[in-house]
Structure 1
Amino acid sequence: MLMGTSTDETTATTMLDRYLDAGGTFLDTANCYAWWHERGSQGGESEQVLGRWFARTGRRDEVFLATKGTAMVKDPDQVLVDGRPDWERAYQSFDGAGADNLRRSVDDSLRRLQTDHIDLYYVHVDDLSTPLEETLEALAGIVQAGKVRYIGWSNVRTWRLERIRQLCAQHGWPAPVAVQQQHSYLRRKAGLRHASIVDDEQLHYLQTHDDLMLVAYSPILKGIYDDAEKRADHPMMGAYAGPDAEARIATLGEIADEVGATGNQVVLAWLMHQTSPCIVPLIGPRTLEQFDTALPAVDIKLTDEQLTRLDAAGA
């Protein structure tokens, strides 16, 4: 997300090289990354960095490439207040999932990424104002044209996901294979109204539909698991703070000590150990240090007993 803006291109491409050299294959970006970094941006900086890297290295065929559309704001400068995004205003001005916008957005992403196809293309933010039939028929045409291999949905409620799947089955359109939501070790507070964070109902839905992969964004909640002081006043904790979070963090600390790792690393490892649903946790490092700190999570092997304790922890 940050490549080409707050992460300079030299650092970004060094990360990409190290990631692939270590065996990484999955890259996730979006056409709107990251318009909020500075005035005058129209988004697309991350895709452009990836495109130049593909062209220079010839490594496009080594990765499964995901990008997204429908959440680009029409006039970014109008929703920046004192240099920071006003997300409420931004949500009201997303370009949406209309057929013409989807076709245009895919072509623009292909150009920036310097590739002839996208492996996984997400509706970035579920668009309630556009008929699902219009969106799904357009996506089906894009897949049929060979521009996209698979589709996904992000920031979506479970009832909408079921309706999407019903329409795809009814019309023979390609159905989503991936759902990208905010998901971590901490559990969201009961009663929270939030379309983007996995709740119990959505988790159960994904567990009973094994043709859907859960792609978890913000899995370490901006790194709060390693820093009690950071947790105390971090905005990410607003959706999680409480006795349940405290109990799970305590157990997480015990397991981290046992395996000789950080809390953030254990959370990533715990997510990668999940099989129902199967989960791909995304990391979004801003610096090489953050990348190098996250990578050891791949090699952490949690025992069945440790996984049971982590799962059972809570108030």
Structure 2
Amino acid sequence: MKTVQLGRTGEQISQLALGCMIMGTVTPEDEAFAILDRYAEAGGNFLDTADCYCWWERRGSYGGESEELVGRWLTRTGRREDVFLATKGSAVVRDLDVVWADGRPNWDVAYKTFAGAGAKTLREAIDGSLRRLGTDHVDLYYVHVDDRATPLEETLEALAGIVQAGKARYIGWSNVRTWRLERIRRLCAQHGWPAPVALQQQHSYLRRRAGLRHASIVDDEQLDYLETHDDLTLVAYSPILKGIYDDPDKRRGHGAMEPYQGPDADARLAAAAEVAAEVGMTPNALVLAWLLHQTSPTIVPLIGPRTLQQYEAALPALDAKLTDEQFARLDTAAG
């Protein structure tokens, strides 16, 4: 598996990151271990989790199952030094009772009850994550959901303390607007605090529909910002949008399609299906190959397979052979 540099840090991370979100809940331990083993055997080294994963899968849980599973795998394999380990804090739900209704979590309520990125919260969160992961440090620590209720100075000073204490080597940010990212970077430069080296956002081949306001999906302004700030690497979550590229029936009415629905998406879906058929691969894998091909900015797709079969279905993207003309057709679909 090829590697790319994380920002300007000199760290080499796998071109394809492995998301561990549903491991230990939806994906049982034996299958999760098999996915992690295969990924490591293929040369993969970039693992991604969070302290809140996966509270919404088990009523009464505040999360932590994914970190605990990854910790058990690291202990079993002794691979901690081979892995670039990322986790996140700030999105644990404070009050589960108000979030669950009729046996299902209410996400609108959940977003209003996140623990946030206050100094005390982050300091306690990183300690909890390290305990569950069974390690004394993570390589990358994200603010999971941008917290506008807490002064940025408080959050950034706390993160600087976490780095200084050796509990995290680098910091990142997720689910954040570009203007906030610029303010974060300016404050870091002003105070000498460590600045984010990774930006984790939702990004795929489809482009979000015109007029949509969404803090978590990359837009043209954010792409332009990343093109001119190569000290930040884009880690693209939900790169295949729950697998909707492969299945027209699945994407009809699917929530993953809602931010993209429209003529632009139709044209790009058709282009992906056409080129995928030409090269003999699935549209899902083709989209991953397209993302891996991007260099301005560099994109690290973050896959989150539920099964070993889904993990293996992504691998053809690593060796895809597309012509310049095929990439051009994908790039220019819908104008």
Match of 1:22 in 2: 42
* Structure 2 counterpart of 1:108, from 128, 140, 153: 128
Is the CA contact (8 Å cut-off) linking 1:35 and 1:76 kept in structure 2?
A: no
Question: 2:3 maps to what in 1?
Answer: none
Match of 2:284 in 1: 264
| Residue 218 in structure 1 maps to residue 231 in structure 2 | no
Cα deviation, residue 81, structure 1: 2.0
**Which residue among 12, 30, 33 is the counterpart of 2:53?**
33
Q: Supply the AA of the counterpart residue of 2:155.
A: T
> Which residue does 1:188 correspond to in 2?
208
For the residue of structure 1 that corresponds to 2:303, the secondary structure is: coil
- From 225, 240, 243, the equivalent of 1:205 is 225
The superposition leaves residues 205-242 of structure 1 with CA deviations (integer Å, 9 ceiling, x where unpaired) of: 11111111000000000000000111111111110011
Q: In the alignment, which residue of structure 1 is the partner of 2:111?
A: 91
Q: Distance in 2 between matches of 1:128 and 1:262?
A: 40
Q: What does 1:51-70 align with in structure 2 at a 5 Å threshold?
A: 51-70=71-90
Residues 150-161 of structure 1 aligned to structure 2 (within 5 Å): 150-161=170-181
1:302 to partner: Cα distance: 2.3
Identity of aligned residues (%): 73
* 1:73 maps onto 2:93 in alignment: yes
Give the letter for the 2:193 counterpart. W
CA-to-aligned-CA distance 1:182-202 (integer Å, 9 cap, x gap): 000000001101100001111
| Aligned with residue 8 of structure 1, among 19, 25, 28 | 28
Q: Which residue of the partner structure matches residue 140 of structure 1?
A: 160
With a CA cutoff of 8 Å and minimum separation of 6, indicate the structure with the bigger relative contact order. 2
Partner of 1:236: 256
How far, CA to CA, are the matches of 2:47 and 2:205 in structure 1? 22
Supply the AA of the counterpart residue of 1:28: D
Normalising to structure 1: TM-score of the pair? 0.98
Report the Cα distance in structure 2 between the residues aligned to 1:217 and 1:293, rounded to whole angstroms.
Answer: 17
Return the letter of the residue paired with 1:34: C
Distance in 2 (alpha carbons) for counterparts of 1:314 and 1:2: 34
Aligned to 2:308: 288
CA shift, 1:77, in A, is: 3.9
How far apart are 1:308 and its partner, in Å?
1.3
Shift of 1:39: 1.1
Contact conserved, 1:38 with 1:83, CA < 8 A, in 2?
Answer: no
Q: CA deviation at 1:42?
A: 1.7
Secondary structure class of the residue paired with 2:321: coil
Give the whole-Å Cα distance in 1 for the aligned partners of 2:104 and 2:309.
25
What is the alpha-carbon distance in structure 1 between the residues aligned to residue 292 and residue 169 of structure 2? 24
Q: Return 5+ residue gaps in structure 1 as ranges.
A: none
**Matching residue within 114, 118, 121 for 2:141:** 121
Deviation at 1:78, TM superposition (A): 2.8
Q: Which runs of 4+ in 1 moved over 4 A?
A: none
Partner SS for 2:59: coil
Q: Which runs of 5+ in 2 are unaligned?
A: 1-20
Inter-partner Cα distance in structure 2 for 1:55 and 1:263: 36
How far has the Cα of 1:92 moved from its partner? Answer: 0.6
* Root mean square deviation, CA, Å: 0.9
Separation in 2, partners of 1:137, 1:305: 48
Q: State the shift of 1:157 in Å.
A: 0.3
The structural deviation recorded for 1:169 is 0.5
What's the counterpart of residue 196 of structure 2? 176
Offset of residue 112 of structure 1: 0.2
Structure 2 counterpart SS, 1:282? strand
Q: Structure 2 CA distance, aligned partners of 1:247 and 1:52?
A: 44
Give 1:253's match in structure 2, choosing from 257, 273, 279. Answer: 273
Aligned partners of 2:298 and 2:71: how far apart in 1? 29
Question: What amino acid maps onto 1:36 in structure 2?
Answer: W
SS of the residue corresponding to residue 258 of structure 2 reads helix
Name which of 308, 324, 327 aligns with 1:304. 324
Could you tell me how far 1:98 is from its partner in structure 2?
0.3
Q: Is the 8 A contact 1:28 1:66 kept in 2?
A: yes
Q: How many Å apart are 1:298 and its aligned residue? A: 1.1
Q: Deviations over 1:257-301 (max 9, x none)?
A: 111100000000110111111011011111111111112211113
Distance 1:23 1:151 in 2: 24
